[in-house]
Amino acid sequence: MNKTKRKIFETSMKLFAEKGYDATSIEEITATVGVAKGTLYYHFSSKEEIFNFLIEEGVKLLKNSIAIKTDKLDNSLDKIRAIVLIQIKILVKYENFMTIILSQIWGTDARSQMCKNYVFEYIQMIEEIVKEGIKKGEIIEGDSNVIASGIFGFTCSSLIYKMRHENKELDVAKLDREIEKSFIKKLKP
- Taking only the tens place, the pLDDT of each residue in 122-150 is 999 999 999 999 999 999 999 999 999 99
- Report how far residue 8's alpha carbon sits from residue 185's, in angstroms, rounded to the nearest whole number: 42
Structure confidence by residue, pLDDT tens digits, 61-77? 888 888 999 999 999 99
- When pLDDT is cut at 50, 70 and 90, the band that residue 167 belongs to is low
Q: What is the DSSP letter of 186?
A: G
Q: What is the mean pLDDT of the chain?
A: 89
Give 94's pLDDT tier (boundaries 50, 70, 90).
Answer: confident
For residue 99, name the pLDDT band (cuts at 50, 70, 90). Answer: confident
Q: How many distinct structural domains can be found in the chain?
A: 2
Q: What's the predicted TM-score (pTM) here?
A: 0.84
Range of the domain at 101: 54-187
CATH of the domain at 1: 1.10.10.60
pLDDT at 159 over 80: no
Q: Are residues 60 and 25 in the same domain?
A: no
Give 172: exposed, middle or buried? Use CB within 10 Å, 0-12, 13-18, 19+.
Answer: middle
Q: Tell whether 178 and 113 lie within a shared domain.
A: yes
